[in-house]
Chains A and B, each alone.
Chain A
């Protein structure tokens, strides 16, 4: 069953994001919201881990949380899709289950 994983913690402060990547299955989707949005930026110490996960998982970031932190969409890793709140709702509807990583 495809699962939407929602992450809201910065990968530079907590191991939550790492743990999510270690437990998500192929075909799952990962949505970065709140502080997790900083993980979408390319060229960071976390970027390679996320790129590896993107081989068999879809990755999304909530655009409003990027711009709120002064990060423009052209700095995110190629292949990460930005979504707005309506897109967030679509993702929860398109996946059979969700897991909010705390």
Chain B
């Protein structure tokens, strides 16, 4: 099967709706098909990967830890939009430390989070062969 560039666009906060969890499930499935997968976090989607999430009092499973597994599935491009963070009073320090191991560089641990401007995000989106929006 030919490899295609897949992008999953995440625009909603977690827990209030099921979109974030459903996106994560599909992302993990797509990894099994050896595709060139990247994720975009824009608008409220940036809240999906904040650190320190605690869902004990809302009766829902905290699925934020699952994002840490993405690196093990060769998903190492998590584009986060700078403007979306800034509009919400957030910086990269508020996000989870998501990493992958580069086998071509003696398994060095590298950050999966790539902060990009809205303009850069638009250009990355334009390169995709398949875009799935959540």
Contact = CB atoms under 8 A, between A and B. Distances in A.
A79 B107 CA distance: 54
A66 B114 CA distance: 40
A1 B129 CA distance: 8
Interface stretch (A14-22, A43-51, A68-76, A84-92): A14-22
Nearest to A18: B43
A97 B11 CA distance: 19
B133 A15 contact: no
A82 B131 CA distance: 25
Contacts of B118: 22-23
A102 interface: yes
B43 A1 contact: no
B122 A25 contact: yes
Q: Which of the four size classes fits the interface of chain A?
A: 10 to 19
Interface in B9-44: 9, 11-12, 19, 42-43
A97 B128 contact: yes
Contacts of A100: 133
B133 A97 contact: no
Chain A binding site: helix, strand, loop or mixed by DSSP? mixed
A99 interface: yes
Interface residues of B, number: 19
Given A15-B43, A19-B42, A97-B131, A102 B122 contact: no
Contacts of B127: 1
A99 B122 contact: no
Contact of A102 (B11, B121, B125, B128): B11
22 contacts: A1-B126, A1-B127, A3-B125, A15-B43, A19-B42, A22-B118, A23-B42, A23-B118, A23-B121, A24-B122, A25-B125, A96-B129, A97-B128, A97-B129, A97-B130, A97-B131, A98-B131, A99-B125, A100-B133, A101-B133, A102-B19, A102-B133
The 9 closest A-B pairs by CB, nearest first: A99-B131, A25-B126, A23-B122, A102-B133, A22-B118, A100-B133, A19-B43, A101-B133, A25-B122
Interface of A: 1, 3, 15-16, 19, 22-25, 28, 96-102
Interface of B: 9, 11-12, 19, 42-43, 118, 121-123, 125-131, 133-134
